[in-house]
Amino acid sequence: MTHIAIDGPGGAGKSSVAKLIAARLKFIYVDTGALYRAVGYYMVSNGIAPSDKEKVIAALPSVKITLKFTDKQELYLCGKDVGDKIRTPEISMAASTVSAIPEVRAFLLDTQRNIAKKNNVIMDGRDIGTVILPKADLKIFLFASPEARAQRRYEELKNKGEVTTYEAVLAEMNERDKNDSTRATAPCVPAEDAILLDNSTLDLNGTADAIISLLEKRKKLTKEIRNYSFWRAILGAPLRVLFGVKLIGKENIPNEGGVLICANHIGMRDPVLLAASYPRQVRFLAKKELFSVPIIRGIITAFGAIRLDRSTSDVGALKKAEEMIRFRQTVAIFPQGHRNPSTPVGETEFKRGASFIVSHTGCSVLPVYIQTKNQKYGLFRRVKLHIGKLIPPEQLLSREGESGYEAIIDRIREAIIDLEAKANGEVK
Ligand code: DC
């Protein structure tokens, strides 16, 4: 089964885009907001204030919800099709209020999970990626500026003949956002492994295309990671033993998240040894010349290397690296641009590719210093890989524009110089 989770604030276009994707991929679209709306509607129509927690909880056993999936989702509340009655601004607020009650969320949990058990689904809501389908194949957190979202909702309501103003919709939206994102149970926040997608400037088709392409990439990636793990399990240990690799500072390696490794570059073995020793798949930015050697091309492509043209500022390669980081992968770059055996890091220049990746993705950087005797590779020479402390984005993104890029790469360079000094026993 394939599961796509789309979370995000109201008015980001989750339901329209999810419907479109479901039609294209022949998936079932599950609108989970409708379930909360149905509970809210039930309370309001039975004279129970949505904020009266005890009464709402007491009434839950009588709320009988059935979903039917034809070409759309039909919701029956106690046997009756509620249609658009759950779509009014009053019921939107009621849904938001009841959705903050943990018992209401627990009450609706199985309904949502059971549908996903038996079907390929695209499900939208607030906590699909975090709570309902934590193992979803693709998690998207879809958002847009409050103004763009209010404008869309306003048009939608106007088309349905509702009497309202843009200002009223914006105010209601801001209030609901606050409710939904600050509540204690299952707040509307992106899952750790969700991809953030801002569709303020994308139309419906553009957003659907972006998500479908992300799903295809995600599936390809999952296959690639499986192959990589297989080869890493077979080749990792022999390579480490053959080259006498010692990993120092293992505790600094993060278990998850998109990370950019920046290392000094002494020779062709650097990427091989780093890949053989690092616990997660590492995708190197590799110079394009390597891709013209048939066997090497086969190997590095299989290992997920990203082709880099060093003669230009290769925007395509940087974009690819950024995409991998958004998929929470580990990317590695040698900011020195080419091999620098024997020269101390402090005496070499660093290129700014890493700065672009960091400033576009807001990722953390893991500095690595590769050390061998006289900084040269040779037979039976031990190699030490010094892993530095992870540098969080807050320490990198202090300034914007050109001076910001300089600051980022300087900070990374300093971290590698520090590692070099420690490795050489210059600092205790
Ligand atoms: O997506 P919507 O506007 O139809 O959702 C109505 C309300 O239900 C919304 O204010 C938050 C809540 N909701 C939720 O808490 N969790 C979900 N999975 C879906 C909706």
Of ligand 1's listed atoms, the one at least distance from the Cα of 132 is 18
Distance CA 317, CA 308 (A): 6
Of ligand 1's listed atoms, the one at least distance from the Cα of 15 is 1
Query: How remote is the CA of residue 105 from the centroid of ligand 1, in Å?
Result: 10
Give 119's DSSP letter: S
Closest-CA residue, ligand 1 atom 20, reads 33
Closest-CA residue, ligand 1 atom 9, reads 96
Query: How remote is the CA of residue 205 from the centroid of ligand 1, in Å?
Result: 23
Of ligand 1's listed atoms, the one at least distance from the Cα of 128 is 18
pLDDT tens across 40-52, in order?
A: 999 999 999 999 9
Closest-CA residue, ligand 1 atom 6, reads 33
**Pick from 270, 284, 369: nearest CA to 331:** 284
Query: How remote is the CA of residue 188 from the centroid of ligand 1, in Å?
Result: 9
**Residue 36 phi, psi dihedral angles, 5° rounding:** -70, -35
CA 218 vs CA 221, 323, 329, 330: distances in Å: 5, 11, 11, 15
Closest-CA residue, ligand 1 atom 2, reads 33
**Residue 311 phi, psi dihedral angles, 5° rounding:** -80, -15
pLDDT tens across 223-252, in order?
A: 999 999 999 999 999 999 999 999 999 999
Of all residues in the chain, what percent are helix, strand and coil, respectively (each to 5)?
A: 50, 15, 30
Can you list the domains of the chain with their CATH numbers? 3-219 (3.40.50.300), 243-423 (3.40.1130.10)
Largest CA distance in the chain: 82
Which two three-digit tokens encode residue 255?
């278990």
Distance CA 139, CA 6 (A): 6
Query: How remote is the CA of residue 53 from the centroid of ligand 1, in Å?
Result: 17
**Residue 174 phi, psi dihedral angles, 5° rounding:** -60, -40
In sequence order, the 6+-apart residues with CB closer than 8 A to the CB of 32 are: 108, 112, 123, 124, 125, 128, 132
Contact 229, 281 (CB under 8 A): yes
Which two three-digit tokens encode residue 326?
């958004």
Q: Is residue 256 exposed (0-12), middle (13-18) or buried (19+ Cβ within 10 Å)?
A: exposed
pLDDT for the residue 71: 83
Contact 363, 374 (CB under 8 A): no
Query: How remote is the CA of residue 96 from the centroid of ligand 1, in Å?
Result: 6
pLDDT for the residue 428: 61
Distance CA 342, CA 422 (A): 17
**pTM for this model (two decimals):** 0.81
Contact 169, 157 (CB under 8 A): yes
pLDDT for the residue 228: 92
Q: Which residues form ligand 1's pocket by a CB distance below 6 Å?
A: 10, 32-33, 36-37, 92, 95-96, 99, 125-128, 176, 180
Number of H helices, E strands in the chain: 13, 15
Query: How remote is the CA of residue 125 from the centroid of ligand 1, in Å?
Result: 6
Q: Which residues of the chain have pLDDT under 50?
A: none
Distance CA 255, CA 237 (A): 20
The one-letter amino acid code at 16 reads S
In sequence order, the 6+-apart residues with CB closer than 8 A to the CB of 126 are: 7, 8, 33, 99, 180, 186, 187, 188
Give 131's DSSP letter: I
Closest-CA residue, ligand 1 atom 14, reads 126
- Tell me the best of 91, 180, 183, 185 to mutate to test the pocket of ligand 1, counting ligand atoms within 8 Å of each CB and taking the most: 180
Dihedral sign from CA coordinates of 56, 58, 59, 64 = positive
pLDDT for the residue 253: 97
Query: How remote is the CA of residue 99 from the centroid of ligand 1, in Å?
Result: 7
- Residue 246's DSSP bridge partners are 384
- Tell me the best of 36, 37, 93, 189 to mutate to test the pocket of ligand 1, counting ligand atoms within 8 Å of each CB and taking the most: 36
**Residue 280 phi, psi dihedral angles, 5° rounding:** -115, 165
Distance CA 308, CA 326 (A): 19
pLDDT for the residue 72: 86
